[in-house]
Amino acid sequence: MYSILYLVIGIIGFALLLVFDLLSLHNKNYSKYFFGICGFLMIFVSSVMIIINYSNFLKIDSIFRYIGLGVAIVSLALLIYSVFIEVGRKTYQVENEHALVTSGTYALTRHPGVLWMLLLYVFGAIFFQNLLAIYAALIWTFVNIIYVSIQERFIFHKIFDNYDKYRESTPMILPNFESIEKFITTKNWRRT
């Protein structure tokens, strides 16, 4: 029963992150933080509850568990880097300044956070031996793809110059050979 509740809370978290983006688009500079923080906390808390209440339900050899832990830690670091550090603090300040980032992990895909979050949950589920975390990975990734599709359709082309050109040159979620080459050959300057 609670398992469905935790999954729904995570879905609502993504909806609140979309409200954050919409308020940011309309310069509602203070109210956006309420929705952004609540959305993040709902995803985070439901993730923690899934780990606490549903771990050790799968039997996975310890070597695979520790490989899973390693990949999950790297995925978490990449998620934090892509979503918070790479886009720069100016994106999240009250009077935000939107600037399109096309280098670094954003040379790989337009939404690297979707990929990092999927890897975090799948490999974290392996470490915690948690079947519900795998379901969360699949369901929340689907919801996350809807979320970024709405961003692409209704938000990003309004706030970023040359976004259509970026869409043409960079895949949405899964890297391809050209984007991997661009990632390797382009200097990865972090915005501040």
Question: Cα 133 vs. chain centroid, distance in angstroms?
Answer: 16
- Residues 164-177 have pLDDT tens digits of 999 999 999 999 99
Structure tokens given for 5: 């509740």
> What is the average pLDDT across 46-74?
94
SS3 assignment, position 189: coil
Distance in angstroms (rounded) separating the CA atoms of residues 56 and 79 = 25
Q: How far is CA 185 from CA 5, 88, 108, 182, 188, in A?
A: 45, 21, 11, 5, 9
Q: What is the pLDDT of residue 87?
A: 84
Domain count for the chain, please give it. 1
| Residue 161 backbone phi and psi in degrees, to 5 | -70, 145
Q: Please give the residue that has the higher pLDDT: either 140 or 28.
A: 140
Inside any domain, residue 68: yes
Predicted confidence (pLDDT) at residue 36 exceeds the cutoff of 80: yes
Q: Is the pTM of this model over 0.75?
A: yes
Predicted confidence (pLDDT) at residue 94 exceeds the cutoff of 80: no
Q: Which domain, by its residues, includes 23?
A: 2-185
- Residues 115-146 have pLDDT tens digits of 999 999 999 999 999 999 999 999 999 999 99
Distance in angstroms (rounded) separating the CA atoms of residues 25 and 182 = 29
Residue 20 identity: F
Inside any domain, residue 191: no
Q: What is the pLDDT of residue 10?
A: 97
Residue 107 identity: A
Q: How many CA atoms lie within 13 A of 42 on its CB side?
A: 20
Whichever domain contains 140, its CATH number is 1.20.120.1630
